[in-house]
Every structure is written in C-alpha cells, then in structure tokens.
Chains A and B, each alone.
Chain A
Amino acid sequence: DSGVTQTPKHLITATGQRVTLRCSPRSGDLSVYWYQQSLDQGLQFLIQYYNGEERAKGNILERFSAQQFPDLHSELNLSSLELGDSALYFCASSVVGGGPGLAGGSAQFFGPGTRLTVL
C-alpha cells in the first residue's frame, strides 16, 4: 500500500458525459501528479500540482482539468468524454515538487488507479 488513495476504482459512463476522479496523497506529500495509461499511448503525464498550484503540464487535453485543494487532495475532471478517453488514470504524490519552475525532485508513489470506461 503506497498510501495514495484514489476513488472510484472503476467508472463506466457514456460519451459526452463528465466525470470527476479523486486522489488523496500520502500524508506529508505536497505534490500530486496525474497520469493516463492507455493501450495505444502507454503511460502519459497529464499534470502536476504542488501545494495547491499548478507546477507542470503534460499532454492534458483541454477537455480535462484538475485542481488541488487546501487539504492537498486533488481532483481530475474529464468532460465531453470520448471513447478514446477510456484508460487507467493514476494519481501519484511526492514530498517535494522541485524548485521554482522545476517539477519532480523526489520519488513518486502511485495510487491504485481509476479505470474509466467510456461506452
């Protein structure tokens, strides 16, 4: 058990819908990262938050957004869902987020993931 929790574990929805995935980082970790794992794209970094602020952005679609709340939990919002959004979505956390303008800087620990199926 990494100490990172994600809910829900599974989510089945229809095209065009909107869903919210939730992540609670390990106690003491300030950084939260979101990743998407699909069969055709592999593991892709979406976005990182550090202590409530966006720190780094990867291949995140405009239909997707995220935020980190004062209690450090994070939510990933996926809207106007398409069949191709079906994937495993992972959240990870780490103690630090690097210096200004620099993400990472410490080991990341992953949650169990949320499997999203869009029908």
Chain B
Amino acid sequence: GIQVEQSPPDLILQEGANSTLRCNFSDSVNNLQWFHQNPWGQLINLFYIPSGTKQNGRLSATTVATERYSLLYISSSQTTDSGVYFCAVLTGNQFYFGTGTSLTVIP
C-alpha cells in the first residue's frame, strides 16, 4: 500500500512562532486532508486539499500532487494549536493516515 510519512514527528514551539509540517506520500492520490487531533482526542478537519493552496486564518496548506507532498503552515502559534496533526490520503478506494506530527506550543 501507499506510504504516508509525516515530518517532523515531534515539534515544540514557543507561542507566537511559525512552523511547517510536511506530508510525503509514495503514490498518486485522489484526495488529501489535514486533521488536528486535540488533547481531548477530537479529530478536527482542517483542510480538504487534493491540490493547490488554501488558507484559513493562521493556517494554510499547499499540496503539490505531482511531487507527492503536502505542507501545513501554522503561523503565530497558540497553545490551543497543541495536539497531533495528521494528513490522510485517498488512493483508489483506500484511506491512509500518516503517523502524525505531535505539536506542543509552550507559553
């Protein structure tokens, strides 16, 4: 099956800092989503982004499908951004999640 790798696995930021999370996938995909799992376990949809660039407030994402990667940008990080960020891809009829990036934002 497809390999979905996320980097870095762990990230500690000072509040206010910016960061870039990366998702690489080993094969062509039909769609890609970014999710945030907060410390309470809730999975929150951030972006549905099979290609191109989207922005939502302090977050933005870019997917370059031809080069098989996606980036999630977090600007001016806040403590509420802490949690695990997952990318998930769809190829054929199968969904695959990456192993996640665990983000801790310290005040």
Which A residues are closer than 8 A to B by beta carbons?
A: 2, 33, 42-45, 48, 55-58, 88, 90, 92, 98, 101-110, 112-113, 115
Contact = CB atoms under 8 A, between A and B. Distances in A.
Given A43-B86, A102-B93, A107 B33 contact: yes
B100 interface: yes
Contacts of A42: 97, 99-100
6 contacts: A45-B94, A45-B97, A48-B95, A104-B90, A109-B45, A110-B44
Contacts of A106: 48
Interface of B: 30-31, 33, 35, 41-45, 48, 86, 88, 90, 92-97, 99-100
- Chain B facing A: main interface SS: strand
Nearest to B46: A107
Nearest to A45: B95
Contacts of B44: 2, 110
Given A106-B48, A108-B33, 13 more contacts: A2-B45, A42-B97, A45-B94, A92-B43, A98-B30, A103-B93, A104-B31, A107-B45, A108-B48, A110-B45, A112-B41, A112-B42, A113-B42
A42 B87 CA distance: 12
Contacts of B93: 48, 55-57, 101-103
A109 B92 CA distance: 20
Nearest to A115: B41
A58 B94 contact: yes
Contact of B95 (A58, A88, A110): A58
Nearest to B99: A42
Contact of A108 (B45, B92, B100): B45
Contact of A107 (B30, B48, B92, B96): B48
A56 B35 CA distance: 21
B45 A56 contact: no
A92 B35 CA distance: 12
Contacts of B35: 110
A104 B97 contact: no
